[in-house]
Amino acid sequence: MADYYEVLGVERSASEEDIKKAYRKMSRKYHPDIAGPEFEEKFKEVNTAYEVLSDPDKRRMYDQGVDPNAPGGGNPFGGAGFGDMGDIFSFFGSAFGGAAGGPGPLPRTQPGRDSLASATIDLKTAVFGGTADVTVDTFGVCQTCGGSGSADGSQPTTCPQCHGSGHVQKIVRTMLGQMMTPAPCETCEGHGTVIDNPCTECHGHGRVRTRRDVGVTVPAGIADNTRLRLAHQGEVGECGGPAGDLYVDVRIRPDKQFTRDGDDLHCWIRVPMSWAVLGHDLDIETFDGTETLTVPAGCQPDQTVVLKGLGVTHMRDADERGNLVAHIGVDIPTKLSDSERQLIEEFAESHDSSAGAVSQSSRPTTPSRKGFFDKLKDAFS
């Protein structure tokens, strides 16, 4: 027999409130929409444990060594003790046509399940933080009856079919003959009470299917595919039951100007050959506005220039940010006039006349090992 107390992580002396809190915690943890489909069986086990321990009659039966969910109602002698003999005879009473105690009525107020949604933000929102709106299709409180399920606000009355027990006795044919077994009452759906004048909007459930927009606070520095939790923003429970939580998967849209690497931002800038040779100050657009970037004299292709503190906000320290790394590309002209070509040849003759033999290696040479004008001569040749 499964240990339902262990499944919910509570002591055997736990109160109804403790069991309810433990159930909500475990159901959120193992919900297949949140934890993944591989936890579906574990989620069913949690629900089974709560179904037994939240019902006083089922819990009493279980504490006496009888699992109400086991085939045939469980083995009454399989637990640690037999319990009170009157309870055992009461348990077997239904098998002999007696008035046996059923599993008990189901409470009308039920906790709502968790919901899952997704939001896509731009990179700038990930850098500084902000808000995102998500549309959630779930159950909300019925505005017509205010969640009571009753059209006139009246309280539910005792079910005339099951007299408040939530179940009725049915005859089941077995290999041992006909036996009486409890089954949920169809009139009250197992609640033991009926709503005489149910709300026409929610049909007595106190909630309706609805679509609503929820504002999500996005923390600065959030990473792609991060899951955020919004407490009590999920599915509303039946008849005023507490709402579950809303989980939002946040995805970051690719940016046209910057690429993110951790908390650093990278961009690629192409400059004319003369700027790379002589150096140049230029303005670039950042998420903080226009900033001045200095291309150093003699800048090599693929060289980087770092602008500190213009990257992504650190999640653990909002006062710190990563860097903006600019990768410099050099535009080497491919068509020159005769005068331009003559000037380049004169420069090469005076600057590169002492150059030695070509270096050959089994590995690519780094940009710093090959001069800018060497690349220029390679392009012309």
Asked whether residue 299 is marked as a ligand-binding residue, the answer is no
Contact 197, 152 (CB under 8 A): yes
Dig out the tokens for 100 from the structure: 């046996």
Give me the residue label for tokens 């731009």: 122
Asked whether residue 239 is marked as a ligand-binding residue, the answer is no
Q: What is the identity of the amino acid at 94?
A: S
Phi, psi at 128, each rounded to 5°: -105, -15
Phi, psi at 111, each rounded to 5°: -70, 145
Instruction: Please report the DSSP string for 211-259 in residue order.
Output: EEEEEEEEPTTPPTTEEEEETT-SPPPGGGPPP--EEEEEEEPPPSS-E
Identify the bridge partners of residue 120 per DSSP, sorted by sequence position.
251
Neighbours of 47 (CB within 10 A): 15
Among 81, 87, 48, which residue's Cα sits nearest to residue 65?
81
Handedness of CA 52, 55, 56, 58 (dihedral sign): negative
Instruction: Decide the pairing of beta strands 264-272 and 259-261.
Output: antiparallel
Distance CA 83, CA 88 (A): 8
Distance CA 70, CA 41 (A): 16
The beta strand positions in the chain, using DSSP E, are 115-121, 130-141, 157-158, 167-174, 177-184, 193-194, 207-218, 226-230, 246-252, 259-261, 264-272, 280-286, 289-295, 304-307, 324-331
Distance CA 170, CA 180 (A): 5
Asked whether residue 267 is marked as a ligand-binding residue, the answer is no
Using CA atoms, how far residue 300 sits from 333, 341, 361, in Å, is 15, 21, 20
Binding site as annotated, residues:
142, 145, 159, 162, 185, 188, 199, 202
- Residue positions forming the annotated binding site for Zn(2+): 142, 145, 159, 162, 185, 188, 199, 202
